[in-house]
Amino acid sequence: MRVLSVVGARPQFVKAVAVSQQLEGDHEELLVHTGQHYDAELSEVFFDELALPEPAYHLGVGSAPHAAQTAEMMTELERIVDAESPDVVLVYGDTNSTLAGALVAAKSSPLLAHVEAGLRSHDRSMPEETNRRLTDHCSDVLFAPGPHAKRTLEAEGISENVYVPGDVMYDTLLQIRERLGGGPTGEPAVPDEYVLATVHRAKNTDDRERLAGIVDALTRLATPVVFPAHPRTVDSLHEHGLWEQLTADVRVIDPVSYTEFIELVEGAHCVATDSGGVQKEAFYLDTPCVTLRDATEWTETVDAGWNELVGATPERIVDAVRAAENPPSKPDLYGNGNAAARIVTHLEHHVG
């Protein structure tokens, strides 16, 4: 089986690791890195640290408006698909890289498979919501991380070739967790108790009022805050005149490696984030999560009491972080860490 895997952003690298391991040996995988994440700590470090195969193609697209970025990816991906004739084009998640790969595959002969299908925030202002909906509706094989996502697909009329293997990100995290211990080696020691914050979504970084609300909340917390800052977020903080306010009370650090970040999540009193992937990582690592968004695609974590949606209102953020604690129980929502093996088995069946 010849598989063309399209990745371009941090969460996709984490997910692709587990599937690549299962493809290795019996199948041929061609990895395409679109270059959507271009900072070394958000991109190249994953190939070294997680032993992700070197990309057969690196498109180097970088940052650009949605239409321009997606169009450039599609142009290059169409050329690659024509040249390589894969049996399967495999896409992950909900980024512009996902949509570009999906549209190219849907207009050509390879089977299109979507890992992490069926997720919905029902917030159409999020570009990711459009990407995931369009990708699901043009996919041939859909891999939902949990039963709720499968039911969502069924409600939208997608019932054939839908499988629930679990979450491949959990596969990778279990492998990494075995190596944890000793603290984040690339950074100075963090406080014994701290809140871990991440902010990168355009809805928060491009809107000064929302970003100011988040900064206000983080600087009002009594517990120290550790903030690995996305390059775009740093630019926005400077642009909106919020950098000095934040750094006066919050420890802002450079992006860290995946292992270091997982250690930060596991050691935190609470995570405050607008990232979908970090919401799950907090859940897996038994760390309460406060989500700086008005809606989430990981609704099960909210229903289970491990995640609270607070938007960008300072008072709600501060109150939620102060009250954060582990619920008395945690349900098994996204499988047992064998999702990648199940995905490859289903692909083998469909390719024949």
Distance between CA atoms of residues 287 and 284, nearest Å:
8
Of the residues 200, 238, 346, 349, which is catalytic? 200
Helix (H) or strand (E) holding 37: none
265 φ, ψ to 5°? -65, -45
Contacts of 169 (CB under 8 A, 6+ apart): 11, 14, 15, 18, 277, 280, 281
Q: Minimal CA–CA distance to 160: which of 150, 149, 169? A: 150
Token code pair at residue 106:
């849907």
Pairing of strands 251-253, 270-273: unpaired
Pairing of strands 307-309, 195-198: unpaired
Query: Is 114 one of the catalytic residues?
Result: no
Burial of 97 (0-12, 13-18, 19+ CB in 10 A): buried
The DSSP symbol for 191 reads P
Report which residue type is found at 239: E
Which residues are marked as active site?
Answer: 200
